[in-house]
Amino acid sequence: MSARYVELMEQKSAVIARVLEVTRAVSFTGAEDAVEKEADAFSSLYEQREIILRRIPKIEAEMEKESIAISANKLVSDVHQIRLNAIIVKQKEMASELIALDEANFKVYEKLKSHLAGDLKTVRQSRDVNERYNEDFYDDTRGYYFDKKN
């Protein structure tokens, strides 16, 4: 492997580490009294992660170019290979932890979603009652618009 390829792998690891850091920084409880705040935090977290993860396709495109150049050369340094293997192991560990955190977050998300769905149902029912009440009360009265300019 070339030094450039290893450098690109390290950049990719840094991006993954940043996503992991951002994900660790937020914890969700799924408590009913904090549903709105946690729903906003959940949305914010995954928007922030998306922004960070946008860098990976660019890095992978560069890695693809570098791997084509390497395959044409057929020279692989043992030192670079050892560093690359260490980076890959670290990336796998970070990915496993990230998957575990995401699974826990999505379990809480399901709780949040059910709470929000219940709240929306209550709002919808209240709106329906208000509409029925208002239809009966205001049905006989009609409003008129008078043009005062003429």
pLDDT digit string (tens) for 28-45?
Answer: 877 777 778 888 888 899
Which residues, 6 or more positions from 83, have their beta carbon under 8 angstroms from its beta carbon?
1, 6
- pLDDT value of position 100: 93
Least confident of 30-39, 65-74, 82-91: 65-74
Residue spans of the domains in the chain: they are: 3-138
Alpha-carbon gap, residue 27 to 33, rounded angstroms: 15
* Single pTM value for the model: 0.68
Greater pLDDT, 142 or 79: 79
Alpha-carbon gap, residue 8 to 19, rounded angstroms: 17
Alpha-carbon gap, residue 5 to 83, rounded angstroms: 11
